[in-house]
Structure formats: C-alpha cells, structure tokens
Amino acid sequence: MEVSYKWLQEFIELPESPEEVGKLLTSTGLEVEGIEKINAVPGGLEGVVIGEILTCVKHPDADKLSLTTVDVGADQPLPIVCGAPNVAAGQKVVVALVGATLHPTAGDAFQIKKAKIRGAASEGMICAEDEIGLGTSHAGIMVLDMEGPASRMPNGTPAARYFNLEADYQIAIGLTPNRIDAASHLGTARDLKAVLNRPLRLPSVDAFAINNTDLTLNVQVDDTTACPRYAGLTLSGLTVGESPDWLKQRLLSIGLNPINNIVDVTNFVCHDLGQPLHAFDAAKISGNQVIVKTLPEGTPFVTLDGVERKLTATDLMICDAEKPMCIAGVFGGQYSGVSAQTTSIFLESAYFSPTSIRKTAQHHGLKTDASFRFERGIDPNITIFALKRAALLIQEVAGGTVSSAITDIYPTPIDAFRVPVRYRNIDRLIGIKIDHTEIHRILDALDIQAESIEDDGFIAIVPPYRVDVTREADVIEEILRIYGLDNIPLSANLSADSLSEFPKTDPDQWQSRVSQLMAANGFYEILTLSLTRPAYNDAIRQSLTGDDVTLLNPLSDDLSVMRQTLLFSSLETLVYNLNRRQKDLKTFEFGKVYHKVKLEDGSPKYVERMRLSLAMIGNQNPESWLQKGQPVAYHDLATAVQRVLNLFRIKSFETQPADTTLFQYGLTYVVNKKPLVSLGLVNAKLTKLVDLKQPVFYADFDWQALLKLASGKIRYEEVSRFPEVRRDLSLVIDKAISFEQISRLARQTERKLLRTINVFDVYEGENLGEGKKAYSVNFMLQDTAQTLTDVTIDKTMQRLMAAFEQELGAVIRK
C-alpha cells in the first residue's frame, strides 16, 4: 500500500521528515518498505528560486539584451544577461541558479552555467514559463504579481514553494492482512496520532446540503446479511471532464492514474478515508430503482473490463428494475458507469459482508481496491461521512447539485466489540508495569474507549473498524505497539502461559540430507584420515588461521600432524582412483580440521571444526555414442554448490575472489560478512604435491556456519498474474568492477520491481579503451499488484542508469 506524505499532512501536523515518519510507522507495526520522492513537475524546480530585479540597463553591444542585477537572497546580487522584451527593474521573477537543470515544456533538459554573453558576465537565467515546464508561453519572462504571494516571500524562496509544487514522497507500507483499518490516509494518520499524541484534522462536511429532490430513486436491499448497510444519493447538472491539478497530483502520488473528475473523486475518497464508493450514470438506471440482491446461477454479466462473467447464486449484485449494473463491492459493469456524456449520477456508499465479497472476488479472480478493503472489513460507521465528503468534492470539481435526500438502509447497526481487560495481564504479557494513565491515553488515542474502570481492570469498547482487536491479548498488543517495543528493557520479566516448540537444528539430519542430495547427483562419499603430512600444511601456511596440531608420538613422519583442510585428503583419494583407471570422479566428504592458537597466558587452545568438501575431475558426463565426454568446468562445481545452498534455503550472499594460495581462480561466498564456502580450480602447485596432473575443481564449506543458517521455514508466494518485463543495458565499465557490484547496486537502487538481473554477454576490445570492458545485462521487472506501464518502466531504468553512472562510472551504450 502506498500513502502520500503531503496527503498525510492534511490529517495531522507532521514537521517530521518523510524518513522520520517512516520509522514511526514501522515502530507501530505498519512496516515501511520504501520511500520515493515524487516531483510535481520534471526536475521538481530544484535550483529555481524567486528573485527581484534591482537594476536593468540595455546591453551596450546588443540591442535585444539587457544587463540586470537580481537579488536571490544571497550575499551579493547576481549579474544576469536577459533577452526578454518585458524585463524591468523592480519585478519579482523566477530565476534559475547556476547548476540548476531545467526541463522545458518542449525540448530536452539543459543545465544553467556561468557564461559571458557579448562580454558581460551572466550567472543564472530569468525564466519564461515554458523554460521551467509550467506553460507554453515564450513571449517574455514570468513576472510575478507584486500584490500576491510573491510580495510576502523573501527573495531566494524556492519556486516550487511559491507555485505549490513542492516534492511529495510516496511511502510504501507492507500492510499485513489484519490491519485493514490502516488502508487509507486517515487510517495511517490514526497510528501517527496515537504515537505522537497529536490531534487529527478530519475534513469538514458541514457545507453538505440537499439542494432539491428532483432525482429521487427507490433503493431496496433484499439481502441485508450480505449488505448490512447501503447508502446513496443523486447529483445532477454535472460536467464530466479532466480533474483539477490538485486531485490528479494526489492520485499520481500513490500510483493511480486519473480518469475523470467523478471517478477520480471516488478513488480519492477510497484512499482518503478507506471507504470505497461507486458512481452510476443515473440516466442508465431503468425504472428509477436500485436493488441490492443476488441473481440466478449462471446469469451473464459484462464487467467494466469487457469480460462476460457467469454469476454464482451468492454473488451480490447492484441492479436496476431490469438488469444488473455492478458486482457489489468488487467491480463495476460496462454499461452503467460514468462517461463523458454523464450529467447525473447515483453515488453509492455501502458496507458489504467481508465473507460475501471474499467469495465473489476469489471466484471471479478479481482483485480491486474496493474488494481488497471490503473483504477484510471496513468501518461501517463512516459510510455517510464518506458519502457527504464525496458529494462536496464532486460539486467542487464537476459542479451540479445534490438532487435527492440521503438513503441509508441500516436495519441492524454493527456494535462495537466489548473486551474485558485486566491490568495484571497487561503487565504480564508486556513484561513491565505501565502507568494506568498512559494505558488509557494510548487506548483513547486509538479510539478504544474504556468502561467500568475498576482497580483490577476495565471493559475496552473497540470500534467495529478494528476487526483485528477482539480479544484481551489484541488490546494489550495495541497498547504495546504504541508504547513502543524499544521502550521495553531487555531485562523485562516476560512470560507466557505456553510456548511453541521450536526444535533445534539436528546436524546429523542435515548431514544425511546433504549426503542424499550429493549421491543423487552422482557424487561418491569418501572418508579419510585426519592425520596428514606436515608438507601439506606448509604449502598453504599463509592461508591458515592457526598453528599445526602435532602428534607427540607419530607412527611416521608422513602422518605426524592433524590436517587443517580436507583438500589434500580429497586429492589423495582422486590419485588413488586415477591410478586404477577411474578418470571421471565426483566426491564429497564430511570431516573435521584442526589447529591451535595461543591464549593470552601463553597456553594453547585446540580448535576443531567440521567441514564439507566437494571435488570434481575428468568429464562431467562419460563419453558415449550419443555425446562426447564434456570436461568438468567451474560452473559444474558452482551448480553443485548452489544445490547445497538451495537445500539450506540460502538465497542471498556476497562474493569475493577466492584465496589464491588454494585456487588458481574461484570465488568465496560470504554471508553476514563471514566466509561460507570457497570454490574454484585448485592451484596447480598443490596438485603437484600429490602427483596429480589433471585440473581439479574443489569446494570447501564451513559446515558449522551452514548449520547456523539452516531454516525449517518454507515461505510460499502466489504466482503473480501480472507479466514480467525485460529491459537490456550495455554498460562500459572498468575491468576491476565485477558483476556482483553491478547486481548489488541494482538491488539497492530498485527493491520493489527488480526480480532478476543477469549478464548475457561480456566484451573486451581495443575500441572500448584500455582497462575497459562491456557488460550486456538484462533486467526482469515485475509489479505483483498491477501491470507495469511504460512510464514506470522508463522511470525505473532511468534510476538504475543514473546509479550505474554515478556509483560505478559506467557509460551506457544504446
């Protein structure tokens, strides 16, 4: 769910920055997943300010140019050469400072630089409206009204503030299913109200008035179980058209596209107050009737997207005297909606049963903003307020009059939840004793009233829009999330009546699972001695973490120390098999390695750690009539390593070059800044120690680190019904930059839409320049909530390209 920072400020005073607001929301349980700056116009008018022309004289060497000095709030006025015919001293104007990038209405963006024009210095530009993207006129510079807001703003004021075009911020919240009460700007502001202890500013509907009753419809609800409350009114004399800028900006700030002024108001109120609305063209309602009912199984109905759907017998429908018009709370009909010819509407505001809407939405595979809210449970008591607010807004943006009384069918009002709460249970579950005054302040701020307050507890009266707060534990959770988990000391006396059992990781079980995996992929398990030759440890001494563990009474010099790696055990096993004409081998081994370190007092400490090793030599597949033998390659080993990581559900890791003492080339995978596995081609100097002349690919896992990352939890996600989009880039970068750096930067820059990133070509050549290489990279983008538009895709790719250019010095080839 996305909310707008500026939109939130309409409900509550927020001097805090968007980032600070994000932290506050996360602390209350509304986890903020990202904050994105939204400019009202391209470039956001950054570097453009209000200035005042102090002097203006003709340029001595150019008839059409003027030399001006302009006060922009700096220590000294700026000299600016201007070619506009209407420039004059005393004017308040719009000035682009040096360094500002302007985005004109037509043409490409350009940057303002210091210049000399006909010998005169110019340090800025006095702008016309088309030069800053606010119009099409180029007849002269913009001259601001000296009697208007410009006269009250000091010189140097950002132009975005003067034109009310300051940037907004889109705050993405990972809304959990139980918190549908927060699925609006009002709902989000309620949490901020509670945590900041500030009042809400609700919009006023006092101006609402019924102008006449010339268009009164007969409204009837046949199924009050599926529709406990249904309200509506009519408006006449409307003019359907484009919405005003403020309304379009509000919708765009949360990712919605404006449609027309009537539909935009219904969408605005849905995200403003959390109450979905629907507008019907009144001229298309037959028989002057609106009936809420179900229809026979299999009844055909064409929805707004042009698809004919077969209704079930439980689908609640909004009908007129002759036909169905809308699937209640889910999707409108193709023939009853607002069009450019609409002059009167029936405006609906209702509360539908969550169970009914959920069944219908799932059956037809429809997920809309309305069904998302209805099927989880909205506020049944905001229905009329939202209706009045929408009616006033429609009159503001489309004219017209309210031409009927409000119909409100609500036979059985939905009661608040009554929850007994005991203070001792609050203290026990939270772990500390919270002052009773603070408890009731928090609950009151959350619109949860207290009745029958006694020494040991009270009755919490929970409003029906809080469908997730129905038990004592739920009320206590509300107290805790606003009080703040960070305010609970680590020494708090936390307790519970019961704890779920979380079994410890079983190393033997995991070892068995890995063994089965490797055997299934053609690997043979080996078991070797822990004693080894001192020469082996000496060959890799610089990469070892401690001293050798030496036997006091060895049987021979060849077996006089404990091994510090499984590598040589594996190499000796390969040699043994090669000498017996077994040339294609894949082995794995679980074994311990040993070393010792000195403590501060000089005494030795002996360390043993479990490792897992993989080794591959010869051909990946044996030679046959069907195919020639394919030599083992690095990626064959990397695939085996990835299978092990997948078994442990380890999806993300960083990479760095492997230790060159052990490997000619390879990588080390790092998780939480600790090496997890190293893999690559074994250094030829080491294979020579065991008289092995063939290339060997080897991987070495830290088994104990693997076990710490083991997880028994499986997370499933629904396959998105929205398509992926592929975009390719060619990046010319320094040879020292790895693909891992590109991938990491891309995922840091775009966390929401980027699904995969892959390099499909690498090129090096003289025409790129010395020390350069070109990566051809594809990016797969996908939004799980909607189909990506070209605007969103282009915006995402521009952000990625800018990051590559700024952080990696990349040159984008097109």
Is 468 annotated among the ligand-binding residues?
Answer: yes
Q: How far is CA 48 from CA 39, 95, 120, 124, in A?
A: 14, 6, 22, 10
As a whole number of angstroms, the distance between CA 235 and CA 219 comes to 15
As a whole number of angstroms, the distance between CA 409 and CA 290 comes to 12
Is 281 annotated among the ligand-binding residues?
Answer: no
| Residue 552 pLDDT level (bands cut at 50, 70, 90) | confident
As a whole number of angstroms, the distance between CA 569 and CA 591 comes to 10
| Residue 150 pLDDT level (bands cut at 50, 70, 90) | low
User: How does the average pLDDT of the chain come out, rounded?
Assistant: 91
In the prediction, which pLDDT does 452 show?
Answer: 92
What is the pLDDT averaged over residues 688-703?
A: 94
What is the pLDDT averaged over residues 504-514?
A: 87
As a whole number of angstroms, the distance between CA 678 and CA 659 comes to 8
Identify the residue whose tokens are 């959390």: 274
Amino acid identity of residue 784, one-letter, is T
As a whole number of angstroms, the distance between CA 688 and CA 681 comes to 14
The vertex-13 CA angle with 200 and 9, nearest 5°, equals 90
| Residue 148 pLDDT level (bands cut at 50, 70, 90) | confident
Residue 268: half-sphere exposure toward Cβ, Cα within 13 Å: 26
What is the pLDDT averaged over residues 48-75?
A: 93
- Decide if 460 contacts 421 (C-beta within 8 A): yes
Residue 732: half-sphere exposure toward Cβ, Cα within 13 Å: 13
| Residue 715 pLDDT level (bands cut at 50, 70, 90) | low
- Decide if 123 contacts 78 (C-beta within 8 A): yes
Q: What percent of the chain has pLDDT over 70?
A: 97
Identify the residue whose tokens are 């302007």: 102
Whether residue 498 has pLDDT greater than 50:
no
Whether residue 245 has pLDDT greater than 80:
yes
In the prediction, which pLDDT does 628 show?
Answer: 82
In the prediction, which pLDDT does 768 show?
Answer: 81
| Residue 492 pLDDT level (bands cut at 50, 70, 90) | low
Instruction: Return the sign of the alpha-carbon dihedral for residues 739, 742, 746, 747.
Output: positive
What is the pLDDT averaged over residues 243-272?
A: 93
The residue with greater pLDDT, 481 or 145, is: 481
Residues in the chain: 814
> Which residues lie closer than 8 Å to 644 by C-beta, 6 or more apart?
514, 517, 518, 612, 677, 701, 706
- Beta partners for residue 117, in sequence order: 120
Is 2 annotated among the ligand-binding residues?
Answer: no
- Decide if 235 contacts 402 (C-beta within 8 A): yes
In the prediction, which pLDDT does 486 show?
Answer: 83
- Decide if 292 contacts 328 (C-beta within 8 A): yes
How far separated are the first and last CA of the chain, in Å rounded? 35
The residue with greater pLDDT, 277 or 555, is: 277
In the prediction, which pLDDT does 713 show?
Answer: 61
Copy the structure tokens of residue 596: 């010792």
In the prediction, which pLDDT does 689 show?
Answer: 93
In the prediction, which pLDDT does 96 show?
Answer: 95
In the prediction, which pLDDT does 499 show?
Answer: 43
Which domains are assigned to the chain? 2-39+167-196 (3.30.56.10), 42-162 (2.40.50.140), 218-409 (3.50.40.10), 417-483 (3.30.56.10), 507-709 (3.30.930.10), 725-813 (3.30.70.380)
Is 718 annotated among the ligand-binding residues?
Answer: no
| Residue 712 pLDDT level (bands cut at 50, 70, 90) | low
Whether residue 500 has pLDDT greater than 70:
no
As a whole number of angstroms, the distance between CA 182 and CA 190 comes to 8
As a whole number of angstroms, the distance between CA 288 and CA 219 comes to 9
Q: How far is CA 243 from CA 3, 257, 262, 591, in A?
A: 20, 11, 8, 71
Whether residue 717 has pLDDT greater than 80:
no
- Quote the distance between the C-alpha of residue 393 and its chain's center: 31
pLDDT in tens, 329-352: 999 998 999 999 999 999 999 999
Angle, in degrees to the nearest 10, between helices 18-27 and 185-196:
80
Question: What is the model's pTM?
Answer: 0.58
Burial tier of 354 (Cβ tally within 10 Å: 0-12, 13-18, 19+)? middle
| Residue 447 pLDDT level (bands cut at 50, 70, 90) | very high
